[in-house]
Chain A
Amino acid sequence: DAKTTQPNSMESNEEEPVHLPCNHSTISGTDYIHWYRQLPSQGPEYVIHGLTSNVNNRMASLAIAEDRKSSTLILHRATLRDAAVYYCILPNNNAGNMLTFGGGTRLMVKP
């Protein structure tokens, strides 16, 4: 299975943009890139996903490198409610889209 690498933690100021990086150098051509986040005391929630092109939704943007070996989740204006652990995941094609959660990046947002 393709693995992902993320920084353990990042800090941001409220109202500023946040760029959360993820490396996935062993990604295959058919692997989607998913991002989830987990707010304190809650289950993970889906944020965004993409294959090759950059993607935007109401929560965030996903920028995917041309070689697909890395991606960046962009929160355009961080709020205190965005403080969470963010997970970059490549679902397992061969196991019912099983998700393997690594350590993720703990985002701290300062007022």
Chain B
Amino acid sequence: DVKVTQSSRYLVKRTGEKVFLECVQDMDHENMFWYRQDPGLGLRLIYFSYDVKMKEKGDIPEGYSVSREKKERFSLILESASTNQTSMYLCASSRSGKTKNIQYFGAGTRLSVL
């Protein structure tokens, strides 16, 4: 089974802190994604990556950056956390190529910024 592991299920940080959310996948997938999920707004794509050291902005990249130094790991960085970044963060991965390829999600990290 494909496994996408997010480093924390719950995280509490203070405004202005630098926050790292880590995601690791074990299936050698080329594509990795970061989403956030908020009530009433559904899942929204923050950033995605097609390959090591490559990144593309999603729909809501402001206030976030990402890092993909190794194929299996995709990190989401909040340079200076703000209260409006309190949310559920979901990481996913998929093989590249065809649109029939499936995205596999982690369990999510619920981040609270106080």
Q: Is the Cβ of A49 less than 8 Å from the Cβ of B103? A: no
Verify if B74 is at the interface (C-beta below 8 Å from A). Answer: no
User: Interface digits, A43-81 against B, CB 8 Å rule (1 contact, 0 not)?
Assistant: 111100101000000000000000000000000000000
Give the docked Cα–Cα distance between A99 and B42 (Å): 12
Q: Is the Cβ of B100 less than 8 Å from the Cβ of A43? A: no
Task: Give the A-B contact count at a CB cut-off of 8 A.
Answer: 62
**Known contacts A46-B104, A93-B99: A98-B42 contact under CB 8 Å:** no
Q: Is the Cβ of A104 less than 8 Å from the Cβ of B103? A: no
Size range of the chain A interface in the assembly: 20 to 34
User: Could you jot down 28 A-B contacts, CB within 8 Å?
Assistant: A30-B99, A36-B103, A42-B107, A43-B92, A43-B106, A44-B90, A44-B103, A44-B105, A46-B102, A46-B103, A46-B104, A49-B102, A51-B100, A92-B99, A93-B99, A96-B31, A96-B50, A96-B94, A97-B96, A97-B99, A98-B33, A98-B45, A98-B48, A99-B43, A99-B45, A99-B92, A100-B45, A104-B42
Interface contacts beyond A42-B108, A96-B31, A97-B101: sample of 14 additional A-B pairs, CB < 8 Å, sorted by A: A42-B107, A43-B90, A44-B90, A44-B92, A44-B103, A46-B104, A51-B100, A96-B56, A97-B94, A98-B48, A99-B33, A99-B92, A100-B45, A103-B42
